């Protein structure tokens, strides 16, 4: 067991889970109608730079705790493969890989990269895990020259990363390529944790990664699902939409204080988009798409949701008009059953 | 004492450091080492390149690279015990060239065996699955070696059976949970003429080899080593459970020495099955003490007990603190060891302190060396490539004051800390497994053969004796003999 693991059980009854990227840096809060989800156990664990939580609705608290621990062990195992901040993770190994030399990676890394590759193609480059070099560049210098940006962008794009699923290997067409799974890894981990809970026959559960990616399994008894609320930082009341989530996922992305998102297609900061959410079949996909929807135009998002009926999205766009800022909320896809 | 404390090829330098040292006149003997190493490297890179040529074929996992002896270099391996540790070793093997896992064995078919088998299936690697290791040894005639990751009390039975079947063995640490069983393993290894490597993986980790070999032993970077301190602090956690739908049936459990699923899943805590945190965690770190000071302990005293868990279900102490005394060629070294179940703060690390500096290492983190202000300059070691230059703002004040008159006043300058010129970007167990597989191919000596690990095991068991006796216990020279 990883020495950094920690988990505790809380008597708190969970209710409505805020999925609120704009305030993710605040202490996460869970509020809601008391008593509706009685008998739900709640467990927490630090990983991937955030707090993961499991809500499990099952009578036996000790069993729930042991299952949660098994899921958190799975999470720690995955982090060791996917984190670019761990020097011997698969992702770090890819970063130091010369061009045209295949490297064998673990199954989790391969799955994340395969999905990233598919979504890179489907979003025409709006979701791109090869943004690592660009992020490093902005971290070192917030105003890089055009020349620097051009040279970095030559080392970006999933078309430069060849995946061989039969050999489980990665080969770079150019080197170095800096991969950052920050836009998909947490979602993937949440999916795997939910799968572990199912393996333990805990099917009424919710798992989330720092409020930014959520998987809901079967709904708690006498409910239509796990209550979710999406909020915007500005605007009256802040609540954009409420809905019940079951057997699917939702993720959020946003410009938190001091955080900047760079459009991999232009190499420039996103300015007018405040937040984006995506609802879909699993958290790896919604995590990645919520990141992509931060940079895609409304027309592109609309097109994507039409082509993929299992995906729905909400974005918040700010516009400056006559010295005041207005906020526009756009919905895409099927939000039937959701209330505001 | 003449007992083995390190394997023949001992802790080593990284290639660049070795190159630089060998170029200097004061280390002429290193030229030989360098040339040998070069051959090893070219051999290894040859294997790697051969292994990767096949990418793109649907089934190209069998890599055939004939060695000088005509034997193929692909090592066929079974993994015996596919719990958490077995699965880690499996995933590591899958990232290696010229290693093929062809069989898996675990008595928990519904969970451990299934998970490991699913992983191999993802790699489209055909393999046999077994719940009885004897059946596996009878059936899998193409095996070269077995990796054993079963509970401690099974190690001897499993290792001896595999060695007798003519297979090389890599067995997880600690060796066993009793002295007799560990001794039996060493003897069986000798009699069989097969390799028996024990999984003290730090022995092959390039960071540790650089620290223990080049820095500590060769250039005596810390001066005279006085003390060592190693700790493993982990958070309290619930007992391990199991998915309700997939327990092992009672008859099977009893047949294999477990009274219940609770025991089976938490074997580390039971005296007849495991050795508690001291053995689980301490075995790796106390092994580093013996290895780095190049001696075996003279005495040990200890304190410990069940400070968190219920001793009825956790028979071994959850808190152990031990103090060893070593008589080395350069004087006495005292080493403190601590394993605590409370919280994860501080994690796990090993430090060595000498009169010229301190070295701090961690398997999962950075290794750093700190120079004592009054110690001789380390610039020469930086120039030789043994250490990296300290970060800019930490550069020695002397340099600045010499170039310009007047004392520069700035924000506080931190004392310099030196990092290692080594990037370790492999999975933690890979170098040790690689060393084992290369030894199987006849290309390397084992970094942790059974007799070396036996000395470590004896060092550990004495802590329990000291805990029971409540006083300092001396080691006798023949304690370490098999």
At A55, is the secondary structure helix, strand, or coil?
A: strand
Rounded-to-10 torsion of CA B131, B137, B138, B139: 70
Give the C-alpha separation, B420 to B405, whole Å: 33
Most distant CA atoms of chain A, gap in Å: 61
A200–B243 CB contact, under 8 Å: yes
CA distance B424 to chain A (A): 6
Taking residues A216-220, report their average pLDDT.
Answer: 95
**Residue A260 CB coordination number (10 Å):** 13
Chain B residues whose CB is inside 8 A of the A3 CB are 232-235, 344, 347-348, 364
Q: What is the mean pLDDT of residues B328-354?
A: 95
In chain B, which residues have their Cβ closer than 8 Å to the Cβ of A96? 423, 425
**Substitution target from B83, B95, B419 for chain A, most A beta carbons within 10 A:** B95
**Cβ(B105)–Cβ(B147) below 8 Å:** no
CB A249 within 8 A of CB A213: yes
Q: Which residues of B touch A (CB under 8 A)?
A: 52, 54-60, 84, 91, 94-97, 119, 122-124, 232-235, 237-245, 343-344, 347-348, 364, 423-428
Q: Do A166 and B124 touch (CB under 8 A)?
A: yes
Q: Where are the beta strands (DSSP E) in A127-212?
A: 161-164, 169-172, 205-209
Query: Which domains are delineated in chain A?
Result: 91-178 (1.10.3980.10)
- Give the chain B residue whose CA is nearest to the CA of A9: B238
Q: Give the Å distances, CA to CA, from A209 to A7, B231, B309.
A: 14, 31, 30
Chain A: give the shortest CA distance to residue B451, in Å: 28
Q: How many CB pairs under 8 A join A and B?
A: 94
- B38-78 pLDDT, tens digit each: 433 333 333 333 333 332 222 223 333 444 444 458 999 99
- Rounded to an integer, what distance in angstroms lies between the CA atom of residue B51 and that of residue B64? 8
Predicted confidence at residue B326, as pLDDT, reads 98
**Which of A58-62, A166-170, B99-103, B363-367 shows the highest mean pLDDT?**
B99-103
Rounded to whole angstroms, the maximal C-alpha distance in chain B is 84
Q: What is the pLDDT of residue B399?
A: 54
**CA neighbor of B75 nearest in space, from B170, B160, B142, B158:** B142
Q: In DSSP terms, which residues pair with B299 in a beta bridge?
A: B325, B474
CA distance A156 to B325: 56
Contacts of B125 in chain A (CB under 8 A): none
Among the residue ranges A45-59, A237-251, B235-249, the one predicted with the least confidence is: A237-251
Q: What is the mean pLDDT of residues A90-97?
A: 95
Chain B residues with CB inside 8 Å of A102's CB?
52, 55
Residue B404 vs residues A97, B100, B399, B407, B409: alpha-carbon distances, Å = 44, 63, 9, 8, 13
Domains within chain B, CATH numbers bracketed: 15-204 (3.40.50.720), 206-255+277-391+414-424+456-480 (3.30.360.10)
Distance in angstroms (rounded) separating the CA atoms of residues B271 and B467: 15
Position A28 pLDDT exceeds 60: no
pLDDT of residue A274: 81
Which residue of A1, A62, A201 is in closest CB contact with B245? A201
Q: Looking at the complex, does the CB of residue A104 fall below 8 Å from at least one CB of chain B? A: yes
Per-residue model confidence (pLDDT) at position B31: 43
B81-100 per-position pLDDT tens digit: 999 999 999 999 999 989 99
pLDDT digits (tens, 9 = 90+) for A135-159: 889 888 888 899 999 999 999 999 9
Beta strands in A87-144 (DSSP E): 103-104
Q: Torsion angle of alpha carbons B128, B133, B139, B142, nearest 10°? A: 70
Chain A nearest CA to B347, separation (Å): 6
Chain A residues in contact with B363 by the CB 8 A cut-off are none
For residue A321, count CB atoms less than 10 angstroms from its CB and return exposed for 0-12, middle for 13-18, buried for 19 or more. exposed
Q: What phi and psi, each to the nearest 5 degrees, are found at residue B294?
A: 55, 45
Interface touch B52/A168, C-beta < 8 Å: no
Cβ neighbourhood burial of B382 (10 Å; 0-12, 13-18, 19+): middle
Phi/psi at A84 (nearest 5 deg)? -80, -5
* Residues present in chain B in total: 482
User: pLDDT tier at A235 (50, 70, 90 boundaries)?
Assistant: low
What's the pLDDT tens digit per position in A259-315? 678 899 998 888 778 889 999 999 999 999 999 999 999 999 999 999 999 999 999
| For residue B401, pLDDT beyond 80 | no
Cβ pair A164:B56 closer than 8 A: yes
Taking CB atoms and an 8 Å cutoff, what residues of chain A touch B84? 1, 73
What confidence tier does A238 reach under pLDDT thresholds 50, 70, 90? confident
The residue in chain A having the minimum alpha-carbon distance to the alpha carbon of residue B124 is A166
pLDDT average, residue stretch B142-163: 98
pLDDT of residue B416: 77
Determine whether the interchain pair B244/A63 forms a contact, defined as Cβ–Cβ distance below 8 Å. Answer: yes
Cβ-based contacts of A1 with chain B (< 8 Å): 84, 234, 237
List Cβ<8 Å contacts ≥24 apart for A303-307. Answer: A304/A122, A304/A123, A304/A332, A305/A332, A305/A333
Instruction: Quick: pLDDT tens for B263-285.
Output: 999 999 999 999 999 999 999 99
Highest mean pLDDT pick, A32-46, B9-23, B271-285? B271-285
User: Among partner residues A67, A87, A166, which is closest to B241 by beta-carbon distance?
Assistant: A67
Burial class (CB in 10 A: 0-12, 13-18, 19+), A242: middle
Contact B459, B296 (CB under 8 A): yes
For residue B402, what pLDDT is reported?
55
Residue B300 bridge partners (DSSP) = B324, B473
d(CA B433, CA B91): 12
Interface test with A, best of B267, B281, B425 (most A CBs within 10 A): B425
Radius of gyration of chain A (CA): 20
Is the pLDDT at B32 greater than 80? The verdict is no
Any chain B CB within 8 A of the CB of A195? no
Burial letters for A290-316: b for 16+ Cβ neighbours within 10 Å, e otherwise?
bbbbbbbeeeebeebbeeeeebbbbbb
Given this model, what pLDDT does residue A37 score?
57
Q: Are B125 and B101 in contact (CB under 8 A)?
A: yes
% of chain A exceeding 70 in pLDDT: 86
Q: What residues of chain A lie within 8 A of the CB of B94, using their CB?
A: 104, 106, 168
Note whether B223 and B194 are within 8 A (CB). Answer: no
Q: Do residues B206 and B278 touch, judged by C-beta distance below 8 A? A: no
Cα–Cα dist B166/B68, whole Å: 21
Q: Does A107 touch chain B (CB under 8 A)?
A: yes
Within an 8 Å CB–CB cutoff, is residue A203 touching chain B? no
Mean pLDDT of chain B: 86
> Residue for token digits 């995506």?
A278
**B238–A87 C-beta distance less than 8 A:** no
Given a cut of 90, whether residue A33 has pLDDT beyond it is: no
Residue B299 CA from chain centroid, whole number: 23
Q: Check residue A257 and give its pLDDT.
A: 55
pLDDT band, residue B407 (cuts 50/70/90)? confident
- Distance, in Å, from the CA atom of B458 to the CA atom of A167, rounded to the nearest integer, reads 43
* Mean confidence (pLDDT) of chain A: 86
pLDDT band at B151 (very low <50, low <70, confident <90, very high): very high
A101 contacts on B by Cβ (under 8 Å) = 52
Structural element, H or E, at residue A19? strand A16-19
Residue A70, min C-alpha distance to chain B (Å): 8
pLDDT at B39: 38
């Amino acid at each position: 067991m990883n020495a950094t693991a920690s988990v505790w059980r809380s008597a708190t009854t969970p209710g409505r889970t805020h999925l609120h990227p704009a305030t993710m840096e605040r202490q996460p809060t869970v509020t809601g109608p008391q008593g509706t989800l009685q008998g739900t156990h709640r467990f927490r664990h630090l990983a991937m730079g955030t707090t993961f939580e499991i809500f499990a609705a099952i009578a036996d608290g000790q069993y729930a705790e042991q299952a949660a621990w098994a899921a958190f062990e799975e999470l720690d195992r995955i982090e060791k493969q996917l984190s670019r901040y761990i020097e011997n993770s698969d992702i770090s190994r890819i970063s130091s890989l010369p061009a045209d030399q295949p490297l064998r990676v673990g199954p989790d890394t391969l799955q994340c990269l395969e999905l990233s590759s598919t979504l890179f193609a489907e979003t025409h480059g709006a979701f791109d895990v090869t943004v690592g070099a660009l992020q490093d560049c902005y971290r070192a210098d917030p105003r890089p020259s055009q020349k620097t940006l051009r040279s970095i962008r030559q080392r970006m794009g999933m078309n430069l990363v060849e995946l061989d699923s039969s050999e489980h290997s990665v080969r770079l067409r150019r080197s170095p390529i800096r991969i950052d799974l920050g836009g998909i890894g947490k979602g993937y981990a949440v999916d795997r944790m939910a799968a572990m809970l199912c393996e333990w026959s805990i099917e009424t559960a919710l798992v989330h990664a720092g409020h930014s990616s959520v998987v809901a399994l079967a709904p708690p008894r006498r409910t239509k699902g796990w209550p979710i609320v999406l909020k915007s930082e500005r605007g009256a009341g802040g609540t954009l939409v409420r809905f019940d989530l079951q057997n699917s996922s939702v993720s959020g992305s946003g410009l938190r204080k001091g955080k900047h998102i760079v459009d991999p297609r232009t190499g420039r900061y996103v300015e007018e988009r405040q937040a984006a959410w995506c609802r879909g079949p699993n958290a790896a996909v919604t995590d990645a798409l919520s990141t992509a929807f931060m940079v895609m135009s409304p027309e592109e998002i609309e097109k994507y949701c039409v082509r993929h009926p299992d995906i729905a999205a909400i974005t918040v766009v700010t516009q400056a008009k006559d010295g005041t800022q207005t906020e526009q909320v756009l919905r895409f896809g099927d939000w039937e059953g959701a209330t505001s | 004492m003449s007992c083995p404390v390190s394997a023949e090829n001992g802790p080593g330098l990284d290639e660049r450091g070795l190159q630089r040292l060998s170029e200097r006149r004061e280390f002429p003997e290193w030229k030989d080492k360098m040339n040998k190493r070069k051959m090893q490297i070219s051999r290894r890179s040859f294997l790697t390149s051969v292994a990767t040529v096949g990418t793109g074929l649907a089934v190209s996992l069998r890599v055939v690279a004939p060695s000088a002896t005509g034997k193929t270099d692909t090592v066929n391996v079974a993994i015996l015990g596919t719990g958490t540790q077995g699965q880690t070793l499996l995933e590591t093997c899958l990232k290696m060239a010229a290693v093929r896992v062809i069989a898996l064995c675990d008595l928990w078919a519904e969970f451990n065996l299934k998970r490991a088998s699913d992983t191999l299936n993802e790699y489209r690697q055909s393999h046999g699955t077994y719940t009885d290791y004897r059946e596996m040894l009878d059936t899998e005639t193409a095996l070269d070696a077995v990796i054993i990751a079963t509970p401690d009390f099974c190690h001897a039975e499993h290792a001896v059976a595999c060695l007798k079947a003519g297979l090389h063995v890599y067995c997880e640490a600690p060796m066993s949970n009793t002295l007799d069983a560990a001794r039996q393993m060493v003897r069986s290894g000798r009699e069989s003429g097969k390799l028996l490597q024990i999984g003290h993986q730090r022995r092959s980790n390039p960071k540790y080899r650089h620290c223990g070999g080049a820095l500590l032993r060769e250039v005596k970077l810390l001066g005279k080593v006085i003390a060592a301190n190693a700790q493993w602090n982990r958070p309290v956690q619930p007992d391990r459970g199991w998915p309700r739908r997939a327990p092992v049936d009672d008859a099977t459990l009893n047949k294999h020495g477990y009274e219940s699923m609770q025991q089976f899943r938490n074997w580390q805590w039971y005296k007849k099955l495991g050795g508690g945190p001291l053995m689980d965690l301490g075995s790796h770190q106390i092994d580093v003490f013996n290895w780095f000071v190049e001696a075996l302990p003279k005495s040990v005293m200890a304190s410990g007990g069940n400070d968190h868990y219920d001793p009825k279900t956790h028979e071994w102490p959850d808190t152990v603190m031990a103090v060893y005394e070593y008589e080395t060629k350069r004087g006495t070294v005292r080493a403190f060891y601590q394993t605590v179940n409370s919280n994860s703060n501080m994690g796990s690390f090993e430090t060595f302190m000498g009169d010229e500096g301190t070295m701090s290492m961690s398997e999962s983190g950075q290794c750093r060396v700190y120079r004592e202000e009054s110690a001789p300059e380390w610039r020469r070691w930086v120039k030789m490539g043994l250490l990296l230059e300290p970060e800019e703002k930490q550069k020695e004040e002397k340099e600045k004051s010499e170039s310009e008159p007047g004392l520069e006043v700035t924000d506080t300058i931190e004392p310099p800390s030196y990092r290692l010129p080594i990037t370790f970007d492999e999975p933690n167990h890979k170098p040790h497994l690689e060393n084992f597989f290369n030894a199987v191919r006849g290309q390397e000596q084992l970094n942790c053969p059974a007799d070396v690990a036996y000395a470590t095991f004896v060092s550990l068991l004495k802590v329990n004796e000291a805990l029971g006796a409540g006083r300092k216990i001396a080691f006798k020279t023949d304690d370490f003999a098999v």
